[in-house]
Chain A
Amino acid sequence: MCVCVCVCVCVINVIAYQVNQEQPPDDELKSPTQKEIERIMSENLHGGDIKNMRILSYRNKAPGAPDGFLNPLKVVYSHSKAPASVKRISRYIPQTPDRILDAPDIMDDYYLNLIDWSPNNILAVALGANMYLWNAGTGKIQQLLTLEGSDYVCSVSWIQEGSSLAVGTSMGVVQLWDCSSLRQIRAMGGHSARVSSLSWNSYILSSGSRSGQIIHHDVRQRDHCVAELSCHTQEVCGLKWSPDGRYLASGGNDNMLYIWSAVAGQAYSEPQPLHALSSHQAAVKALAWCPWQPNILASGGGTADRCIRFWNCNTGSCFNVIDTKSQVCALQWSTTYKEFISGHGYANNQLVIWKYPSMTKVTELTGHTARVLHLAMSPDGTTVLSAGADETLRLWKCFAPDPVKKKKETTDSKATISLFHGIR
């Protein structure tokens, strides 16, 4: 009996010893460095040595939120997250430019419009006082004109068909050039300040100036000035006729966007705007009409705004808006895909391709080391040219047709040809 008790006590002692061995007192077996690490970690985590602190909490806790309660911020958060995602795409878009051209002395001025690509595949580029023509097919460069004194080119625009080029100058003169013979056809005055934007609608050339004035010139007439629009209070930096010639959009440094409707049966617009749109918080330079829906306009705002807005010009309503987080300098729609491309300034100086109408990002093209000032589309719709303030012109082959689809089209056309042969 006695022995038995003794054994029991022994066993308990052994167990107790083993337990002690397995969990030795913290401080004895730890090296000084280990203790130091623990102390530093504790300081980082608790903002002080936890051993010198007591953590207390009140016993009667606060109640939880009622059942079924939904955080009201959910709407706010989910809304702001949408445009940031980059959607996976199936087609290949080269991330580097196809070609880089030098554009020395290109003016780093947000309000000017210095490049235009003609349907005849000739690119007009204004570099300071000089105007150059670059034949994109042959690579041939011609100098069209040099302005004298301190005069410089502020805007260029090709006529929709033909080889006429309109050039707006800092003296307020609009020159008309025939580029097949490299001759000036006429000069048209009327503006009191520099002509920073131009847009053609058939035989009407509309020009916007720093004074805020827009003039419609009928280039066929001796008295070329057919109408004047004076709604803008500051420089008109964006001016675009819609592809069907029904609407003119004008954006100014007064943060206003006006839509003007064409006079019935004429190519110039009414003197009063159809819509006055004041949603942009900064200058509206980037304007682009949708090629497949002629009443849809995309407009982009400057640094304080950073938004691209989409307007239905029949109703004057803004049906979509993207916050791009960067100054919008230029916009172009793709004619190949249901997409559009935007050119940006600070911080990444990137081009962004967006899907329409989902407004998801397709890809970003980076490479410019200063802001992207202008965008132009090649006549075949495959290539976008971006002019940057880093004095380079970059050609991006980002809208090349899908090779698979293209193949199908060519085989289709071959099939029809062979069909004709068969009939013969």
Chain B
Amino acid sequence: MASTEQETKGSVTLKGSSDLVKEYLDYGINSILYQRGIYPAETFVPAEHFGITMYMSTDEKIKSFLKSVLEQIRDWLCQKKMQKVSLIISNSATKEVLERWDFKVQYEGDGNATESGKTVGNKDFTLIQKEIRSVLRQISGTVSFLPLLDCLCTFDLQVYTVTDCEVPQEWDETQPCFIANAQEMPLRTFSTSLHRVETHVSYKAE
């Protein structure tokens, strides 16, 4: 047991950690889109990851949108430039913001610099997976208290970065979105020992 611990310890690099956070966001966002009934359930297929089954969109447009955004987010995570991603769910007719999911990222510890200059975390991979799994389960469970989205909705992702971040092509600066009279609910937090991700959901109080 001790030997395997030794092997898995310190195995998380900054790049690997960014990949994990990206995967979490991918599965988390897809889960939200499915569980909140924003798109038809038949456009989702079950996929097993992190030891649980989640539903992933098969809509090509949604897939390519998420792919481009999440690739960019991963780069920013590697450069430690991103602070927060917000998933905005709004009424497609009135543009009113109905729900906001915030994924706040904190950069933890300097990690141990290895000979090659890379920063490495020291957290067991299975433990990280377990933490991510419990957040994803909580996301599914939120259906029990979040108000019904009783209209056609769209979603958007807003990325909060540091000021010295370059705006890549096809990206625009926007204004933050708020919900009038909002209720906020914090979900569990997970940490890869390099990135610490807090998940919050804000919704319109009835």
Q: Give chain A's interface residues, CB within 8 Å of chain B.
A: 45-48, 50-67, 69, 71-74, 76-78
Neighbouring A residues of B163 by C-beta, 8 Å: 51-54
- A62–B62 CA distance with the chains assembled, in angstroms: 5
CB–CB B158/A56 < 8 A: yes
CB–CB B84/A58 < 8 A: no
CB–CB B59/A63 < 8 A: yes
Neighbouring A residues of B178 by C-beta, 8 Å: 45
Q: Select A62's contact among B65, B84, B161, B167, beta carbons within 8 Å.
A: B65
- A45–B165 CA distance with the chains assembled, in angstroms: 21
Q: Select B176's contact among A46, A71, A73, A77, beta carbons within 8 Å.
A: A46
CB distance from A32 to the nearest CB of B (A): 23
- A72–B143 CA distance with the chains assembled, in angstroms: 12
Q: Which residue of B lies closest to A63 (CB)?
A: B61
Q: Which residue of B lies closest to A77 (CB)?
A: B148
Answer whether residue B152 sits at the interface, using C-beta atoms and an 8 A cutoff: yes
Interface centre among A45, A64, A74 (most CB of B within 10 A): A64
CB–CB A66/B173 < 8 A: no
Query: How many interface residues does chain B have, given as a range?
Result: 35 or more
Q: Which residue of B lies closest to A81 (CB)?
A: B148
Q: Select B171's contact among A50, A56, A66, beta carbons within 8 Å.
A: A56
B139-195 contacts to A, CB under 8 A, are 143, 147-150, 152-163, 165, 167, 170-176, 178
Interface centre among A56, A66, A71 (most CB of B within 10 A): A56
CB–CB A57/B159 < 8 A: yes
- A73–B32 CA distance with the chains assembled, in angstroms: 13
- A63–B60 CA distance with the chains assembled, in angstroms: 10
B65-122 contacts to A, CB under 8 A, are 65-66, 68-69, 72, 83-84, 92, 102, 104
Using A46-B160, A47-B104 as known contacts, say yes or no to A58 and B65 having CB atoms under 8 A apart: yes
Neighbouring A residues of B143 by C-beta, 8 Å: 73, 76
Q: Which residue of B lies closest to A61 (CB)?
A: B156
Neighbouring B residues of A62 by C-beta, 8 Å: 61-62, 65-66, 154-156
Answer whether residue B36 sits at the interface, using C-beta atoms and an 8 A cutoff: yes
- A62–B72 CA distance with the chains assembled, in angstroms: 16
Answer whether residue B39 sits at the interface, using C-beta atoms and an 8 A cutoff: yes
Answer whether residue B41 sits at the interface, using C-beta atoms and an 8 A cutoff: yes
- A286–B37 CA distance with the chains assembled, in angstroms: 39
CB–CB A54/B176 < 8 A: no
CB–CB B172/A59 < 8 A: yes
- A60–B66 CA distance with the chains assembled, in angstroms: 10
Q: Which residue of B lies closest to A78 (CB)?
A: B148
- A51–B65 CA distance with the chains assembled, in angstroms: 28
Neighbouring B residues of A71 by C-beta, 8 Å: 36-38, 148-150
B2-30 contacts to A, CB under 8 A, are none
Q: Select A54's contact among B147, B157, B167, beta carbons within 8 Å.
A: B167
- A224–B55 CA distance with the chains assembled, in angstroms: 65
Neighbouring A residues of B69 by C-beta, 8 Å: 58
Neighbouring A residues of B148 by C-beta, 8 Å: 71, 73-74, 77-78
Using A45-B178, A69-B39, A71-B149 as known contacts, say yes or no to A59 and B159 having CB atoms under 8 A apart: no
CB–CB B37/A72 < 8 A: yes
Answer whether residue B46 sits at the interface, using C-beta atoms and an 8 A cutoff: no
Neighbouring B residues of A48 by C-beta, 8 Å: 83-84, 160
Neighbouring A residues of B149 by C-beta, 8 Å: 71, 73
Answer whether residue B40 sits at the interface, using C-beta atoms and an 8 A cutoff: yes
Q: What are 9 of the A-B contact pairs (CB < 8 Å)?
A: A46-B176, A53-B83, A53-B160, A55-B159, A55-B173, A57-B156, A57-B158, A63-B62, A73-B143
Q: Which residue of A lies closest to B76 (CB)?
A: A56
Neighbouring B residues of A67 by C-beta, 8 Å: 152
Using A53-B162, A58-B157 as known contacts, say yes or no to A65 and B174 having CB atoms under 8 A apart: no
Neighbouring A residues of B68 by C-beta, 8 Å: 58, 60
Using A52-B162, A55-B158 as known contacts, say yes or no to A65 and B39 having CB atoms under 8 A apart: yes
CB distance from A389 to the nearest CB of B (A): 31
- A54–B171 CA distance with the chains assembled, in angstroms: 12
Neighbouring B residues of A54 by C-beta, 8 Å: 160-163, 165, 167, 173
Neighbouring B residues of A47 by C-beta, 8 Å: 83-84, 102, 104, 160
